[in-house]
Amino acid sequence: MRDFFEEYKIAIIICILCLLIAVISFTFSMYLYSNRSAKSSPSSPVILSENSPKEETDNEEVLAKFFIEVKGEVVNPGVYEVNANQIINDAITLAGGFKDTSYTDNINLSKSLAKEMVIYVYSKNEYKKLKKANEDLTPTTTCKCPDYQINDCTDQGSSIVETGTPSSNVASSSLDVTSGLININTAGKEELMTLTGIGDSKAENIIAYRTSHGKFQYVEEIQNVTGIGEAIYAQIKDHITI
């Protein structure tokens, strides 16, 4: 046996070295393969605890916050911080909800909130008196009011007051505060005379027409009024409403 080992010693050593090299190469290859597989496979889901911070995505919408005021017949009138994604109904909820005495028919609860908006909730008696004092009162949900003198808006039954300047020389009672147009069904003589081509007599004719025929059903009907033809209608059609 010893003679055999002596005779083949070099060959045996070479075989052992080759075997070691093969084992090392195999082990290293498996290590590289496992690393590549780990990188290509989807990562395991990360479970966040309640206290773990959530990552913000690049496309996440950041809603601007601002303040509005709720007045009148709500449980807790006051100033509240809201965002652009909220509506009138949310503001009423923040204020504790309506009181039993609240008048709500003139409030658009689905309207979006706006910066520095004032929401005024009338009592039923308050609105009844307002309606009695102005028989032609048509509820308007939104009113633009200069210098925050909200009486200019609440006197006409508006529940939502926003900053802005109404058209000059036009009384608030017949101004459509959303569009800035003259309401030919409610405008008085002086208001009608602010329209181009409408003088004293034509303004009286408009009032006489709606008194005898009832309210205008459509804007074009004003051409049936004595003295108002196509030419005058063309001048005022973009400035009137019903």
Domain range annotation of the chain: 63-165, 168-242
DSSP state of 159: S
Cα–Cα nearest to 143, from 159, 128, 130, 129:
159
- Helix, strand, coil content of the chain in percent (nearest 5): 40, 15, 45
pLDDT at position 60, please? Answer: 42
Neighbours of 122 (CB within 10 A): 24
Q: What is the pLDDT of residue 22?
A: 83
pTM above the 0.85 mark? no
d(CA 99, CA 25): 83
State which fold the 63-165 domain adopts: Ubiquitin-like (UB roll) (3.10.20)
pLDDT at 38 (0 to 100) = 55
pLDDT at 146: 53
| pLDDT tens-digit series, residues 106-148 | 888 888 888 888 899 999 998 888 777 766 555 555 666 555 5
What is the pLDDT at residue 100? 93
- DSSP conformational letter for 112: B
E strands, the chain, are 65-72, 78-83, 118-121, 142-145, 160-163, 175-176, 181-183, 240-241
Residue 106 has which token pair? 């003139």
How confident is the prediction for the chain on average, in pLDDT? 76
So what CATH class is 168-242? Answer: mainly alpha
- Matching fold, domains 63-165 and 168-242: no
Looking at residue 191, its pLDDT comes to 81
Residues of the chain with pLDDT under 70: 1-8, 35-62, 134-152, 155-156, 163-180
The reported pLDDT for the residue numbered 37 is 59
